[in-house]
């Protein structure tokens, strides 16, 4: 039997968040709500233009895994940092919440990756990522015994950008399936889908059991402006698809069933960073514990609502408390 | 004429904040509300015990100087970091708000200093400081022309802990007085006062024009439990003393005048880190612009109220906006 709920693999990043106005995005040529990959020089240039910032551990799959742990789940993370101060921050913040993390830090090469996050007054976040050390996660870092221990292997779409990580991703998916485990994937970002559309379609059709995507991502996958059309296409391809729609909640497709899940109420939306990551956390803890798809979706909504009510992409209130009787 | 409002000198630190319960303080032997100096090994040990944290630029005088800039003041900071990632964060966050900062980063020696801040549910903060590179600020780093340019030289009491910095502190005070500028001092912490009581008394009596202290600090200075008694003692010693009393506001003594200033209203007190630092910022911008002591105190209250309403010791709303007509 699996003794872990979820193992997640992703780009290990520290978030650097600042509040800026709309004009800042325009001035820096940033596309609101999207993620852009940049080199170190451009990251420095953008950072220099940003106002005072807060540093806080991030990384999409890492946020999700922390969410799983916050629900009381047993979770492990795989991702690469450098042996520098930001790498130490990243590792500390995972271990401090009980997440297993044993990927050795790189001792040479680029520094720990970071994600520069501009939060606009509408609470939207715009991401600029310098991958740094995370590009050096390769198939050699994937521990077969670890993958076999988890009910669900969770992979972030962003991992497709660094070629070595993409190989690690595929190796891990094969190991999980061979052990009879579920493979979950998040499409991460519409532009990331655009960069790797054929590979993602092939994955979704053949290798993914649980797919997470927001509207823009699922439309990008099937090159359509029609959400319902995209939903019909994904339906035949993977056992479960959880499609998030911001304040309109989510739609969960599981075999013949379609569940429309309302968004959980939020007093004030402060920073939407991590909404999708935490939705996936809630959904997967439910799935791992054998709950029905609609309850999984509600757990996802609940976790997303918590994380958008404050700055930063990780929960500040234990999600197990918020879940209450939803998660026995 | 002075073309800067304030130059501040202090220990350059990055804050590492986590939320913990009261039991954590007891378990770690921490005295609530106070600041404790530790070596790198103990800092690592405490950090390992802390939950997930946020990294955000701090340093008492640096927070004050950022506050002065946020009021629209012209301000400069002097303090030492290492040329590492946290040093870069510290420098970025000063320059991003228009604070002048030209102290060269150390290229050898200990890393950038940090202050581990435990915030308890009552919004109180408990500080554990590893001074790191900041101990290497020496008299050689004090630029006489810079000191001469500012109406007020602001010194943090914490600077008395590293011996080199104490020498830098005295050299700067001499330069300021020789140029006819005001010297302001904050006592920083009752235990810091305890460590350096005689030196602080001598400073207050002979070299300080404007003194900032909270109740515990001024009582520690005069070894008394009687606030009014301490107030009478400080009265004859320096031109202006601004004594802060948390939710009871502040008392400003200026020559024969005594002004009792109410605390500004705060919806929810989230984190009291930086309250004293920001009070000093408001007070000094008023003083530098020639306002009366009571108005200076009100500007201090207003800045303190802003900073305790959120996590972190630096303002998130431009103080110039909040000040409105108080600061012409």
Let me know: does A59 contact A12? Beta carbons within 8 Å.
yes
Distance from CA of B316 to the nearest CA of A (A): 9
Mean pLDDT of A304-321: 95
Question: Quick one: pLDDT at residue A274?
Answer: 95
A56 in B contact zone (CB under 8 Å): yes
B57 in A contact zone (CB under 8 Å): yes
Question: Quick one: pLDDT at residue A228?
Answer: 92
Which DSSP category does A106 fall into? B
Let me know: does B176 contact B28? Beta carbons within 8 Å.
no
Question: Quick one: pLDDT at residue A45?
Answer: 97
Question: Quick one: pLDDT at residue B146?
Answer: 97
Select B4-11+59-108+136-315's CATH number: 3.40.1190.20, 3.40.50.9100, 3.20.20.140, 3.40.1010.10.
3.40.1190.20
Complex ipTM, two decimals?
0.92
Q: A21 contacts in B (CB within 8 Å)?
A: none
B58 in A contact zone (CB under 8 Å): no
> Band of the pLDDT at A165, cuts 50, 70, 90?
confident
Chain A (273-312) residues lying within 8 Å, Cβ to Cβ, of chain B: 311-312
What share of chain B has pLDDT > 70, as a percent? 100
Q: Which pLDDT tens digit goes with each residue over A48-96?
A: 999 999 999 999 999 999 999 999 999 999 999 999 999 999 999 999 9
In whole angstroms, what is the distance from residue B91 CA to residue B87 CA? 6
Whether B15 has a pLDDT exceeding 90, the answer reads yes
Distance from CA of B145 to the nearest CA of A (A): 27
* Residue A237 CB contacts under 8 Å (≥ 6 apart), including other chains: A204, A205, A208, A211
Q: Which pLDDT tens digit goes with each residue over B86-110?
A: 999 999 999 999 999 999 999 999 9
Question: Quick one: pLDDT at residue A328?
Answer: 85
> Band of the pLDDT at A263, cuts 50, 70, 90?
very high
Across the interface, do A96 and B57 touch by the CB < 8 Å criterion?
no
Mean pLDDT of A236-245: 93
Helix axes A85-95, A60-70, angle to 10 degrees: 30
The three-class DSSP label of residue A124 is coil
Best mutation site among B54, B77, B99 for testing chain A: the one with the most A CBs within 10 Å?
B54
Q: B312 contacts in A (CB within 8 Å)?
A: 54
Across the interface, do B84 and A85 touch by the CB < 8 Å criterion?
yes
Q: Which pLDDT tens digit goes with each residue over B228-270?
A: 999 999 998 889 999 999 999 999 999 889 999 999 999 999 9
Q: B315 contacts in A (CB within 8 Å)?
A: none
Q: Quote the CATH superfamily of domain A4-12+58-110+135-317.
A: Ribokinase (3.40.1190.20)
Mean pLDDT of A230-236: 91
Q: What is the mean pLDDT of chain A?
A: 95
Chain A (64-83) residues lying within 8 Å, Cβ to Cβ, of chain B: 66
Across the interface, do B96 and A19 touch by the CB < 8 Å criterion?
no
B102 in A contact zone (CB under 8 Å): no
Question: Quick one: pLDDT at residue B246?
Answer: 93
Q: Which of A55, A97, A112 sits opposite B89 (nearest CB)?
A: A55
In whole angstroms, what is the distance from residue A202 CA to residue A221 CA? 11
Q: Which pLDDT tens digit goes with each residue over A3-36?
A: 999 999 999 999 999 999 999 999 999 999 989 9
Question: Quick one: pLDDT at residue A236?
Answer: 84
Best mutation site among B13, B40, B51, B55 for testing chain A: the one with the most A CBs within 10 Å?
B55
Q: What is the mean pLDDT of chain B?
A: 95
> Band of the pLDDT at B61, cuts 50, 70, 90?
very high
Whether B157 has a pLDDT exceeding 90, the answer reads yes
Question: Quick one: pLDDT at residue B165?
Answer: 87
- C-alpha to C-alpha distances, A320 to A67, A70, B121, B285, nearest whole angstrom: 10, 6, 19, 47
Nearest CA in chain A to B20: A316
Q: Which pLDDT tens digit goes with each residue over A91-105?
A: 999 999 999 999 999
Q: Which pLDDT tens digit goes with each residue over B263-295?
A: 999 999 999 999 999 999 999 999 999 999 999
Whether B1 has a pLDDT exceeding 80, the answer reads no
In whole angstroms, what is the distance from residue B248 CA to residue A265 CA? 37
- Phi, psi for residue A115 in degrees, rounded to 5: -120, 115
Question: Quick one: pLDDT at residue A12?
Answer: 97
B270 in A contact zone (CB under 8 Å): no
Across the interface, do A53 and B93 touch by the CB < 8 Å criterion?
yes
Mean pLDDT of A130-159: 95
Mean pLDDT of B222-233: 93
Strands, sheet with A54-57, edge to edge from the N-terminal-most edge strand:
A35-37, A125-130, A113-119, A13-19, A54-57, B54-57, B13-19, B113-119, B125-130, B35-37
What share of chain B has pLDDT > 90, as a percent? 90
Whether A297 has a pLDDT exceeding 90, the answer reads yes
Whether A115 has a pLDDT exceeding 80, the answer reads yes
Distance from CA of A164 to the nearest CA of B (A): 26
* Residue B259 CB contacts under 8 Å (≥ 6 apart), including other chains: B251, B252, B293, B294, B297
In whole angstroms, what is the distance from residue B237 CA to residue B259 CA? 17
């Amino acid at each position: 039997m699996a003794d872990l709920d979820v193992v997640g693999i992703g780009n290990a990043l520290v978030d650097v968040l600042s509040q800026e106005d709309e004009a800042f995005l325009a001035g820096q040529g940033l596309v609101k709500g999207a993620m852009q990959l940049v080199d170190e020089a451009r990251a420095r240039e953008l950072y220099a233009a940003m106002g005072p910032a807060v540093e806080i551990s991030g990384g999409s799959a890492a946020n999700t895994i922390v969410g799983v742990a916050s629900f009381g789940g047993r979770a492990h993370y795989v991702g690469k940092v450098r042996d520098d101060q930001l790498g130490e921050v990243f590792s500390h913040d995972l271990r401090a919440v009980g997440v297993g993390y044993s990927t050795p830090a790189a001792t040479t090469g680029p520094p720990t990756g970071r994600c520069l996050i501009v939060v606009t007054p509408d609470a939207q976040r715009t991401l600029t990522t310098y991958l740094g050390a995370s590009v050096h996660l390769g198939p050699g870092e994937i521990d077969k015994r670890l993958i076999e221990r988890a009910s669900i292997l969770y992979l972030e779409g962003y991992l497709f950008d660094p070629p070595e990580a993409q190989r690690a991703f595929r190796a891990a998916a094969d190991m999980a399936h061979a052990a009879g485990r579920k493979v979950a994937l998040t499409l991460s970002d519409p532009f990331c889908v655009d960069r790797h559309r054929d590979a993602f379609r092939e994955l979704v059709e053949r290798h993914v059991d649980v797919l997470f995507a927001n509207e823009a991502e699922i439309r990008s996958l099937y090159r359509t402006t029609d959400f319902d059309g995209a939903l019909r296409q994904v339906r035949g391809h993977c056992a479960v698809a959880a499609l998030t729609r911001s304040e309109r909640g989510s739609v969960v497709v599981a075999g013949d069933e379609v569940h429309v899940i309302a968004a959980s109420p939020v007093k004030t939306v402060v920073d939407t960073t991590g909404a999708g990551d935490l939705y996936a956390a809630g959904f997967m803890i439910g799935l791992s514990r054998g709950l029905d798809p609609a309850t999984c979706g509600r757990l996802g909504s609940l976790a997303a609502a918590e994380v958008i009510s404050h700055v930063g992409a990780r929960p500040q209130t234990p999600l197990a408390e918020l879940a209450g009787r939803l998660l026995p």
